[in-house]
């Protein structure tokens, strides 16, 4: 039976959720942050799940309206400060992926502080993809190893990536059927689940049912069984 050791989620639909309620898009992001907490806590209770990677802010999200981007930065800052006790209580190690150099010095410091303060935790690993794009990740990895004396191997490139772990299961909420530049290398043999539910409406029961369906899939990884 399959085990969903590494689950990655594209958390789509926050803005649309708010607009459907006649509210500003930022209200959807606030609601989505609460779901992040609920899903993370649920994953700590499932011994099979070792890693949870969440697409929080992409390299393309800078194209959004300035006020929305500024709100997202403040939301991330507040989330990390508020949730640090939760990480420690549940033995969660925080490992961000992406190029955080584009963020303010204050936000960069908060991200690094939470990472350092949870480095000793050996339970669930939660990764937030921050200023992340898979193409950018691969380019940065190539530049790290381009001057090596030997031919580049798959293992060398994998080790140079921000996320060094293959993904078992990718979930995208919000109804769209695409990966949107998320974990393209690591998702080579991931099982993909696309659902219409908007992220603020996503529940632990939704995740439970998806994992149940995932376990039934015959994964052959290019071979025959």
Contact (CB, 8 A) for 185 and 138: yes
Contact (CB, 8 A) for 28 and 190: no
Active site residue: 2, 46, 48, 61, which one?
A: 61
- How many whole angstroms from its chain centre is CA 95? 10
Among 79, 84, 66, which residue's Cα sits nearest to residue 11?
Answer: 79
Q: Token pair for residue 105?
A: 């010095």
Please give the Cα distance from 109 to 118 (Å, whole number): 14
Whether residue 205 lies in the annotated active site = no
DSSP for 88-149 reads HHTTPEE--BS-GGGS-HHHHHHHHHHHHHTTT--S-EEEEEEEE-HHHHHHHHHHHHTT-S
Active site residue: 12, 131, 162, 168, which one?
A: 12
Q: 46: how many CB neighbours lie within 10 A of its CB? A: 17
Whether residue 91 lies in the annotated active site = no
Residues with a catalytic annotation lie at 12, 61
């Amino acid at each position: 039976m399959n085990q969903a050791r590494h689950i990655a989620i594209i958390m789509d639909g926050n803005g649309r959720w708010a607009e459907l309620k006649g509210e500003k898009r930022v209200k959807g992001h606030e609601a989505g942050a609460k779901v992040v907490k609920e899903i993370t806590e649920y994953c700590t209770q499932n011994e099979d799940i070792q890693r949870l990677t969440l697409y929080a802010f992409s390299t393309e999200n800078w194209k959004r309206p300035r006020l929305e981007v500024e709100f997202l930065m403040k939301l991330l800052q507040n989330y990390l400060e508020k949730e640090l006790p939760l990480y420690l209580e549940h033995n969660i190690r925080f490992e961000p992926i992406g190029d955080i150099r584009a963020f303010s010095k204050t936000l960069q410091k908060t991200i690094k502080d939470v990472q350092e303060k949870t480095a000793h935790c050996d339970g669930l690993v939660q990764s937030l993809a921050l200023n992340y794009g898979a193409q950018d990740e691969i380019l940065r990895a190539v530049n790290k190893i381009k001057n090596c004396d030997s031919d580049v191997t798959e293992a060398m490139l994998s080790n140079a990536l921000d996320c060094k772990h293959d993904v078992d299961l990718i979930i995208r909420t919000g109804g769209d059927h695409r990966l949107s530049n998320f974990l393209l290398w690591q998702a080579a043999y991931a099982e993909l689940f696309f659902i219409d539910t908007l992220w603020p409406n996503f529940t632990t029961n939704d995740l439970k049912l998806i994992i149940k369906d995932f376990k039934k899939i015959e994964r052959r990884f290019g071979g025959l069984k």
